[in-house]
Amino acid sequence: MHKPTPPSLSGLPVIGNLLEFQKDRFNLLRRGYETLGPIFTIHLGPKPVVVLIGPEYHDFLFRETDKILSMDRAYQFLNAIFEGAAFTAGPSDYDAQRHVILAPFAGKKMPGYVEIMVEEISAWLESLNERGEFEVVSLFQRITQLVGAHALMGKAFRDEMNDEFWNLYAELSAGIDPVLPPNLPLPKFIKRDRARAKLGGIIQRVIDERRANPQTHADFLQDFVEAKFKDGRPLPDELIISIVLGLVFAGHETTAGQGSWALILLLQHPKYLEMVRAELDEHFPPGTPFDHRVMRNLRHLDWALQETERLRPSADVIFRYNLEAYELGGYHVPKDWLTMLAPRVAHVNREVFTNVDDYDPLRFSPERAEHRVADHTLIGFGGGRHRCSGANFAHNEMAAFVALTLQRLDLELLDKNPGVNYGLGAPRPTPTWIGYRARTRTIEPALVVTA
């Protein structure tokens, strides 16, 4: 006897649940979980998507990726931009690229990247008046862009970079559409392809300069220029360009939203904010070098960042394509459907976390450690062999932004309850204004100590 397919959420004819998914996917998927259980189906246009909620099902998806589940087929709509690099590469190509992509994130390199983060954040802080206002989402997006350009392609590129690069990148991102065929002759796709070609030309000129002047740079791009496949072949320039564009996308699209939420949530919860401030005053008073040793002592900040990942993960949906049919939880899931994890819904699973809608970073303290009841309870950066390679980079960038800002400024959240802007990329807060006042008359430049 055949097992049934997972129950479906009701939707509109033809488009199914697509409009609600685009407008407010968290509440759509949470409703599915609470009414239909941990395995259910939604329809994004004509495409059925099975949603899995719960650590054992997360483990299934991560374990079966590159076996009966495909990541590259699920993200085929991104291939027009990233052209077979990183998460758009098939299993064999990804295996060939993996050591190259992971190398720049090695632990020994992180102190130098933290130095870049502190330099860029401090430059913004030093530009401020004694008091004023800033819009945190656009601000932190700009900071992540500067950090990314500096760390990816070097100080000279960062200094010479103008708005052309990011305007082109905005056109590239605007051409992301997970529903429509990516090769349709639509204006947004035509602009996407033109922007991709121009960005490729900009990065190619930098690659040419690096090949002509080896051993003069220490950044991501230089690692890629000098990298070789395991058989000794150098990386083709076009693959390097695609990897760089992929890292820029993964870096500033995701980190900007989650880092903004980290500060907003702290300002919305003053009792926990005071705990973070007390910790900063003890371990990071003005003039203290901000390095990995300071970061190890900022436990309350670390737990706040984990709670931000739980409540506001940038990767709030994770897709795979079903290369084969499978059976799970008493259901039959057909071949050629999509399978999806929903991290933000999974993070309010009452079988894992207590008081799931409350902001409570202490749930991650050693005394409670709610996330350790099973593997893959916190999946905002994915899991398994495809877990985000830049997760530690992103965590350090958010920690540096929050720590330096709170060290220098007293803040007031002017937009008390920001909404969620889903758009076509990672979800982020709606524009959120914060008032500030300098904690000291003179903002001292942060010192940096590298390992």
pLDDT tens digit string along 193-215?
Answer: 999 999 999 999 989 988 888 77
Is residue 442 very low, low, confident or very high in pLDDT (cuts 50, 70, 90)? very low
Residue 288 pLDDT > 50, yes or no?
A: yes
pLDDT of residue 287: 78
Across residues 75-91, what is the average pLDDT?
83
* Separation CA 14–CA 181 (nearest Å): 16
pLDDT of residue 273: 98
pLDDT of residue 401: 96
Is residue 450 very low, low, confident or very high in pLDDT (cuts 50, 70, 90)? very low
Is residue 183 very low, low, confident or very high in pLDDT (cuts 50, 70, 90)? confident
* Separation CA 255–CA 252 (nearest Å): 5
Rounded to a whole number of angstroms, the distance between the first and last alpha carbons of the chain is: 63
pLDDT of residue 424: 58
- The percentage of residues in the chain with a pLDDT greater than 90, rounded to a whole number, is 62
pLDDT of residue 427: 86
Residue 99 pLDDT > 90, yes or no?
A: no
Query: Mutual orientation of helices 391-408 and 270-283 as an angle, nearest 10°?
Result: 90
Task: Return the minimum-mean-pLDDT range out of 46-55, 125-134, 160-169, 340-349.
Answer: 160-169
pLDDT of residue 445: 47
pLDDT of residue 275: 97
Find how far residue 96's CA is from the centre of its chain.
23
Is residue 332 very low, low, confident or very high in pLDDT (cuts 50, 70, 90)? very high
pLDDT of residue 192: 93
Task: Return the minimum-mean-pLDDT range out of 75-79, 114-118, 120-124.
Answer: 75-79
158-174 per-position pLDDT tens digit:
887 777 888 998 898 88
* Separation CA 276–CA 433 (nearest Å): 21
Residue 449 pLDDT > 60, yes or no?
A: no
Is residue 154 very low, low, confident or very high in pLDDT (cuts 50, 70, 90)? confident
pLDDT of residue 198: 94
pLDDT of residue 451: 37
Residue 443 pLDDT > 70, yes or no?
A: no
Give pTM, 2 decimals: 0.91
Asked if 316 contacts 26 with a C-beta cutoff of 8 angstroms, the reply is: yes
pLDDT of residue 440: 67
Where do the domains of the chain lie, and which CATH numbers do they carry? 83-316+380-438 (1.10.630.10)
Residue 447 pLDDT > 50, yes or no?
A: no
29-54 per-position pLDDT tens digit:
999 999 999 999 999 999 999 999 99
Residue 446 pLDDT > 90, yes or no?
A: no
Q: What is the mean pLDDT of the chain?
A: 90
pLDDT of residue 441: 43
- 3-class secondary structure per residue, the chain: CCCCCCCECCCECCCECHHHHHHHHHHHHHHHHHHHCCEEEEEECCEEEEEECCHHHHHHHHHHECCCEEHHHHCHHHHHHHCCCHHHCCHHHHHHHHHHHHHHHCHHHHHHHHHHHHHHHHHHHHCCCCEEEEEHHHHHHHHHHHHHHHHHHCHHHHHHCCHHHHHHHHHHHHCCCCCCCCCCCCHHHHHHHHHHHHHHHHHHHHHHHHHHCCCCCCCHHHHHHHCECCCCCECCHHHHHHHHHHHHHHHHHHHHHHHHHHHHHHHHCHHHHHHHHHHHHHHCCCCCCCCHHHHHHCHHHHHHHHHHHHHCCCCCCEEEEECCCEEECCEEECCCCEEEECHHHHCCCCCCCCCCCCCCHHHHCCCCCHHHHCCCCCCCCCCHHHCCCCHHHHHHHHHHHHHHHHHHEEEEECCCCCCEECCCCCCEECCCEEEEEECCCCCCCCCCCCC
